[in-house]
A = this chain, B = another copy of it.
């Protein structure tokens, strides 16, 4: 689909392939833009304005324009962005032109669900191996993949280059698993275990903790409750407002 020229160095071909060192906040939003763009492409949109894409991605249009300008992307003034081209650009920047191999360690409750998650395959990743420390689980087949023992990690890593390790073990086991992953050369880890991982410099760790998300929401619930609990004690004037005017943050009121 619209195979313009090969996605590579933006602009001149053969130039430095190094990435333009994006702000982290921008990087965190690019996947959201990408998802929105895929949706737009499916519906048949050829181009999209910053306003339109921003709406679909749930952000401010100015922020979106600044983000896209960061990666040197070419929109057309008066028209908007070419959807297909922008998808290519973002996928290139995110390193999704190659399908990255993921090793998933821990096939318990959560790991099982992750192993069956469609989003892996459909968003540029491939589960290369399922691993677990529990030998009674080894041999089990999940979603067409056989669970292997975690000690086989070096062999797995030798078979195919693992780009990302996903840890879905209990907290007690997580650090040991992380160490093993680092040992076999993995430099990116997604940690679902509720604990802090200690890794050498150069290794990236991202963490997803369900309980933390719930507790943050709980805080806001608590705050909202404590606000509406004040009836009208002669507040300075900014009381009432049943909906609560405080833009708490997170992602309130996306607008239409």
Q: Which residues of A contact B (CB under 8 A)?
A: 16-19, 21-22, 24, 27-28, 30-32, 34-36, 56-58, 93-96, 100, 102, 109-110, 112-114, 116-117, 119-120, 123-125, 163-164, 187-190, 194-227, 229-230, 243-245, 247-256
Residues of B within 8 A of A30 (CB): 215, 219
| Residue pair A117, B210 in contact (C-beta under 8 Å) | yes
- Pick the contact of A24: B221, B249, B255 (CB < 8 A): B249
Chain B's closest residue to A223 (CB) is: B19
| Residue pair A163, B244 in contact (C-beta under 8 Å) | no
Chain B's closest residue to A21 (CB) is: B223
Residues of B within 8 A of A18 (CB): 226-227, 229-230
| Residue pair B219, A95 in contact (C-beta under 8 Å) | yes
| Residue pair B206, A213 in contact (C-beta under 8 Å) | yes
CB distance from A57 to the nearest CB of B (A): 7
| Residue pair B117, A199 in contact (C-beta under 8 Å) | no
CA distance in complex: A221, B219 (Å): 35
| Residue pair B163, A206 in contact (C-beta under 8 Å) | no
Residues of B within 8 A of A164 (CB): 214, 217-218, 221
A123, A206, A219: residue with the most chain B Cβ atoms closer than 10 Å: A219
| Residue pair B215, A120 in contact (C-beta under 8 Å) | no
With A123-B211, A213-B208 already in contact, the answer to whether A222 and B93 are too (CB < 8 A) is: yes
